């Protein structure tokens, strides 16, 4: 069962949005492909095996997505928004590479037609090595995809087994080499802190990942979510619990390794050439999330779609796929700016602390403790502070 959606207000019957925030923002699209061949034991994302889905078919699902693109265009037009062209599109999941290249192409075409794509637009597809081939890479590039994010997670077979990942890590290198060769930008996703993963196993994964030659690496510490199979395995003692101190060691070690390989840190879990799409989340740009359970942010409105593909489809046919909306108050936007901005290498503006009413002494104290440092008119995390970002944000809000 996927995790619960946040509570919110109902989507407005008028199908229009009222801006809650001023200012210029770039515009992005997230497209959720809710299909997987296997459900991984740690996963609580909104994804479904073919057998779970009932009535909604992977082979034709792009028509639903196009239907939502049309819907979003009319909502934004009726609300009077004058949006920039899309700066990025991100196909996530699930396993987007399960879609045929032509299906991806259809969705991209409709986005291009409705909103336009900026000439520099970053168009990423998450891919699982099992559902990708050299031919498919070329096809995707032909439809406009210019960045592939490979879900490799680990190079240690025993860790992959704990994560329920069934791919063969040796298949990655040829795919990445080929992608780079035809001019696709490449990224790799890693997960550290799987139960039983040793420091040495992680170091080897990091070294191999660097050797694969992607321009970007995301390394996420495993979060054991309630309701997942892994959570049950840990509660029953079948798997050892996650050791957060060891994770801190792993984080520090990998940061050094990535940076000496030229993959510079720019967000808590992200290294290398920054992803425009990724940064959009942390700087509260505008984006529309398409597909079941996808989240959107437009001018201080956060809203999200119904989770189950069948429910999503039914709601979309009836008018709007949205399950709820949250209109951010000024205070909430400031708090988000802190919580999100602190995570990136750009940090937050100094004035934000005044706006939030954080005592200057508290900021000074954290600078003194070596967790933060001033950088021009901004405050950014130090290397030591990166691992404490959430705790620091809570501190500053009290």
Smallest distance from other proteins to CB 173, Å: 25
What Cα–Cα distance (Å) separates residue 279 from each residue in 30, 109, 129, 246, 274?
13, 24, 25, 28, 7
Q: Which is nearer to other proteins, 139 or 335 (CB)?
A: 335
CA pair distance 123, 259, nearest whole angstrom: 25
Q: Does 216 bind other proteins (CB under 8 A)?
A: no
Strand duo 348-349 + 270-272: pairing: unpaired
Q: Does 236 bind other proteins (CB under 8 A)?
A: no
Spatial neighbors of 340 by CB under 8 A, at least 6 apart, are 281, 282, 283, 284
| Cβ proximity of 59 and 50 under 8 Å | no
Q: Which is nearer to other proteins, 171 or 346 (CB)?
A: 346
Q: Does 379 bind other proteins (CB under 8 A)?
A: no
| Cβ proximity of 64 and 316 under 8 Å | yes
| Cβ proximity of 218 and 270 under 8 Å | yes
Nearest Cα neighbor of 192 from 129, 126, 243 is 243
Q: Does 233 bind other proteins (CB under 8 A)?
A: no
Residue from 281, 307, 315, 348 that binds other proteins (CB under 8 A)? 281
CA pair distance 114, 74, nearest whole angstrom: 10
| Cβ proximity of 385 and 372 under 8 Å | yes
Q: Which is nearer to other proteins, 178 or 190 (CB)?
A: 190
Residue from 297, 306, 307, 308 that binds other proteins (CB under 8 A)? 297
**Window of 61-69, 258-266, 328-336, 348-356 that interacts with other proteins by CB under 8 A:** 328-336
* Total number of residues that touch other proteins (CB under 8 A): 52
Length of the chain: 398
Strand duo 216-221 + 185-192: pairing: parallel
Residue from 274, 293, 309, 321 that binds other proteins (CB under 8 A)? 293
Q: Which is nearer to other proteins, 78 or 244 (CB)?
A: 244
Q: Does 388 bind other proteins (CB under 8 A)?
A: yes
Smallest distance from other proteins to CB 219, Å: 8
Q: Give CA 54 to chain center in angstroms.
A: 27
Residue from 81, 220, 253, 346 that binds other proteins (CB under 8 A)? 220
Which structure tokens are listed for 47? Answer: 């994804």
Site string for other proteins, 237-266 (x = CB under 8 A): ----x--xx-xx--x---------------
Phi, psi of 177 (to 5 degrees): -60, -45
**Positions in the binding site for other proteins (CB under 8 A):** 3, 6, 8, 30, 32, 45-46, 92, 218, 220-223, 241, 244-245, 247-248, 251, 268-269, 281, 284, 287, 289, 293-297, 302, 304, 326, 332, 335-336, 339-340, 343, 369, 371, 386-394, 397-398
């Amino acid at each position: 069962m996927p995790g619960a959606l946040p509570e919110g207000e109902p989507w407005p019957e008028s199908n229009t949005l009222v801006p809650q925030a001023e200012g210029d923002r770039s515009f992005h699209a997230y497209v959720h492909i809710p299909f997987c061949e296997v459900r991984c034991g740690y996963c609580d994302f909104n994804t479904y095996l073919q057998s779970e889905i009932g009535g909604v078919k992977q082979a034709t699902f792009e028509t639903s997505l196009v239907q939502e693109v049309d819907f979003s265009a009319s909502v934004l037009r009726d609300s009077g928004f004058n949006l920039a062209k899309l700066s990025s599109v991100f196909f996530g999941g699930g396993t987007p590479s399960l879609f045929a290249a032509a299906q991806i192409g259809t969705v991209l075409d409709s986005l291009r037609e409705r909103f336009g794509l900026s000439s520099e637009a970053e168009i990423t597809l998450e891919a699982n090595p099992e559902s990708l081939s050299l031919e498919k890479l070329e096809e995707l590039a032909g439809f406009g995809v210019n960045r592939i994010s490979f879900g490799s997670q680990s190079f240690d077979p025993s860790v992959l087994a704990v994560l329920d990942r069934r791919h063969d890590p040796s298949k990655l290198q040829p795919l990445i080499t080929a992608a780079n060769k035809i001019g696709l930008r490449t990224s790799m996703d890693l997960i550290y802190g799987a139960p039983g993963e040793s420091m040495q196993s992680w170091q080897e994964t990091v070294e191999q990942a660097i050797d694969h030659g992607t321009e970007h690496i995301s390394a996420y510490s495993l979060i054991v979510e309630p309701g997942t199979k892994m959570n049950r395995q840990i509660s029953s003692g079948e798997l050892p619990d996650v050791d957060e101190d060891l994770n801190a060691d792993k984080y520090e070690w990998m940061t050094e390794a990535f940076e000496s390989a030229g993959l510079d840190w720019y967000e808590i879990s992200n290294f290398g050439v920054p992803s425009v799409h990724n940064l959009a989340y942390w700087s509260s740009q505008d984006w529309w999330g398409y597909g079941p359970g996808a989240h959107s942010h437009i001018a201080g409105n956060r809203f999200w779609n119904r989770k189950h593909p069948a429910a999503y489809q039914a709601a979309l046919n009836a008018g709007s796929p949205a399950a709820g909306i949250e209109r951010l108050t000024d205070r909430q936007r400031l708090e988000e700016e802190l919580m999100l901005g602190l995570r990136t290498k750009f940090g937050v503006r100094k004035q934000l602390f005044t706006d939030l009413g954080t005592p200057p002494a508290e900021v000074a104290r954290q600078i003194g403790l070596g967790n933060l440092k001033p950088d021009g008119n901004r405050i950014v995390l130090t290397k030591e502070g990166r691992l404490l970002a959430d705790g620091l944000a809570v501190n500053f809000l009290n």
